[in-house]
Amino acid sequence: MNVKDISNGSEIKIHAYIGGHSIVLMTMAVFGVSAGLLVKPMEYFGKYMQFLEPSKIEVKNKRDGRVYKFMSTTITPVKTRYGNFHLIRSEDKLEPENTRKAERFGFAKMGVVSVGDNTLDLHNCIIHDISMRGLSLILDNDIKVKIGDRLNVSFRYGPMFHNYQISTVAVRYFNVQGKRAVGCSIANMNVDYITLVATKRNEKYTPLDQEPDITLNPEISQRQQIQEVEEDLASQLISERPSTGAKTITDENPFALDKLEHISDKTLRQKHKEERQAKQAKEIENLLDLRDI
């Protein structure tokens, strides 16, 4: 994914340096353009900032909830017909941070759990969160669980109160608001559980075709808005380019002698040598004047 493909409304965190001091700035993505990512403007005491040195960017992409990190080449203010923004440029490809870590979804549902082969000894638990790789449980204090124990979890969820039965393995302990909890990996992945995780994901993230666009002008489509911003950026880039100093020759014979610049017989090296000798002569003359005094 390129920087211009970051979803509208994504949170942007910028780690930059000014005068050897690190600062952190927060902004929000507006939309991507061919030159980079247009974000909401950032001011410091009423002035727009610009960072011409590489900066570390951290994005929580609204589209998939993943965190992406990359380096920007420049972050500069730009002026458009819709106001002032900042443009983040980067040549890096965006890769999600820690792709091996599965995204977790809050659950907080009551269930029952048994340890090992004793499936008749049931204890109450709370399914704290779920992911495609595992789930975590808040346990009662009377349950004896060791790392590596098999935990059989059962709970009901959904409008039809579908019964989910999942076999897991305890892998770590942690605390949730002072309560004992255990993280578990899934031992037998089944279709029911995969569907459940997908459902929770859809509840958390708006489908792409239903995601509202950030609108700078509600009277036209976002596609047209992007096109207009592209035109504004292009005009700025053209105006910022230095003049090449090229001459326009309208004479029918561009090689006419009276149209050519005068070419001196002296080479550039000879000219510099003469200037240097003249300067030395002037310094000697000044010293002689001081000696006479």
Residue 165 backbone dihedrals phi, psi, to 5 degrees: -125, 120
Give the CA distances from residue 19 to residues 16, 27, 99, in Å, rounded to whole numbers and listed in that order: 10, 21, 34
Provide the pLDDT for residue 198.
85
CATH number attached to the domain at 105-204: 2.40.10.220
DSSP structural state of residue 29: E
Amino acid sitting at position 91: E
Residue found under tokens 């952190």: 24
Provide the pLDDT for residue 237.
60
Of 26, 35, 30, nearest in space to 8 by CA: 30
DSSP structural state of residue 51: B
Report if pTM > 0.85: no
What would be the CATH architecture of the domain defined by 3-96? Roll (2.30)
User: CA 88, CA 86: separation in Å to the nearest integer?
Assistant: 7
**C-alpha count within 13 angstroms, C-beta hemisphere, residue 242:** 2
Of 154, 155, 168, 164, nearest in space to 116 by CA: 168
Provide the pLDDT for residue 172.
93
Q: Residue 80 forms beta bridges with which residues?
A: 83
User: CA 50, CA 55: separation in Å to the nearest integer?
Assistant: 11
Residues recorded for the chain: 293
- If one counts every other C-beta atom within 10 angstroms of the C-beta of residue 55, the result is 21
Contact call for residues 90 and 70 (beta carbons, < 8 A): yes
For the record, the structure tokens of 144 come out as 């004896």
Where do the structural domains in the chain lie, given as residue ranges?
Answer: 3-96, 105-204
Provide the pLDDT for residue 219.
84
Contact call for residues 88 and 71 (beta carbons, < 8 A): no
Phi/psi-derived region of residue 84, left when phi > 0, alpha when psi is between -120 and 50, beta in every other case: beta
Provide the pLDDT for residue 169.
94
What is the chain's pLDDT, residue by residue, as a tens digit (293 residues)? 788 888 888 999 999 887 777 889 999 999 889 889 999 999 887 888 888 888 999 998 887 778 888 999 999 999 998 889 999 999 887 777 655 467 788 888 999 999 988 878 899 999 999 998 899 999 988 888 999 999 999 999 988 889 999 999 999 999 988 889 999 999 888 888 988 988 887 776 655 445 556 778 888 888 888 888 888 888 876 544 443 333 333 334 433 434 434 434 445 566 667 777 787 777 766 665 555 54
User: CA 149, CA 122: separation in Å to the nearest integer?
Assistant: 15
